[in-house]
Amino acid sequence: MANRWTNTLSWNDVTPEAAFLNRRQLIAGAAALGAAGSIAGSVSAQDSGDALEPNTWEEITGYNNYYEFGTGKEDPARNAGQLTTQPWSIKIDGMVDNPGDYALEDLIAGLTVEERIYRFRCVEAWSMVIPWNGIELKDILDVAGVQSDAKYVAFETLVRPSEMPGVASRVLDWPYREGLRLDEATHPLTIMATGIYGRDIPNQNGAPIRLVVPWKYGFKSIKSIVRITLTDEEPQTSWNMANAREYGFFSNVNPNVDHPRWSQATERRIGGGLFAARQDTLMFNGYEDEVAAMYDGMDLAEFI
């Protein structure tokens, strides 16, 4: 597999006028970003043929799941503004050569921020297309120096009750936890997002840095990360702990394996309007060519 992944959805594929406007704003926004790292152009025209238009800023930042701020779709936008995201540090520990508490700006200084237009598919069967700005997780793990016996990566979200009204509820066991196998974590599609549309990622979307794993259901893409642990055991994950029958460790998008309470065959694209037809969900959310080999020989109905 090529080292660097090239965008399969490109700005060339989106609705012409809106796209050009967005693209300009994106570049302007990127130039104005004081953030560490540079935005590398990653747009290429080798598209798979599905002309996808990214969701609007308002849709992406107004309809969210972030239970630390409440369980309603509009709660995060309403409540997350008070979250302090500066200073921010990430503890990297476990099987790494350079464990420690890294200031976010030091951790990502010099790493390349790329634009990645990805499909995003929630297990609740809604979806969006989101133009992220992010750093390949592999580049961040390289800073920490992953040891050869590590097999998994575990992630944790901040828990700060004074700023997160949702953690007063026991709806999940806090902190929100997620995990990936090491090959998934170092796959070139896996990014840590710091921006959307070239602007800093808003709090409700997981500021200042969140995981994005586009071939998995959205709950794997954990927000506002404060800890990354390298381990040789499969880590516990929040939704799997809450209900193992409904939420597996892998949670790859799969139209052929239904959730116990709803079908995963189709999805509702946010912003499509009340009468828009549901669209077919794609195997691995459309990233089958890139990721299927990682699951060769696994029964995907068993390893949900």
Q: Give me the residues that bind ligand MTE (CB under 6 A), please.
A: 64-68, 122, 157, 176, 205, 218-219, 221-224
Residue 86, helix vs strand vs coil: coil
Least Å distance, CB 16 to ligand MTE, is: 26
Query: How far apart are the C-alpha atoms of 156 and 224, rounded to whole Å?
Result: 8
Least Å distance, CB 7 to ligand MTE, is: 19
Residue closer to ligand MTE (CB basis): 219 or 295 = 219
Least Å distance, CB 124 to ligand MTE, is: 7
Residue nearest to ligand MTE (CB): 218
Element (H, E) at 104: helix 104-108
Least Å distance, CB 28 to ligand MTE, is: 23
Provide the terminal-to-terminal Cα distance of the chain, rounded to the nearest Å: 25
Residue closer to ligand MTE (CB basis): 146 or 155 = 155
Task: Look up residue 168 and give its two tokens.
Answer: 């007063």
DSSP state, residue 251: -
Least Å distance, CB 21 to ligand MTE, is: 23
Element (H, E) at 115: strand 112-121
* C-alpha torsion angle, residues 6, 11, 12, 18 (rounded to 10): 170
Residue closer to ligand MTE (CB basis): 35 or 226 = 226
Residue closer to ligand MTE (CB basis): 122 or 230 = 122
Sign of the dihedral defined by the CA atoms of residues 64, 30, 214, 221, in that order: negative
If phi > 0 it is left, if psi is from -120 to 50 it is alpha, else beta; for residue 142 that is alpha
Residue closer to ligand MTE (CB basis): 43 or 270 = 270
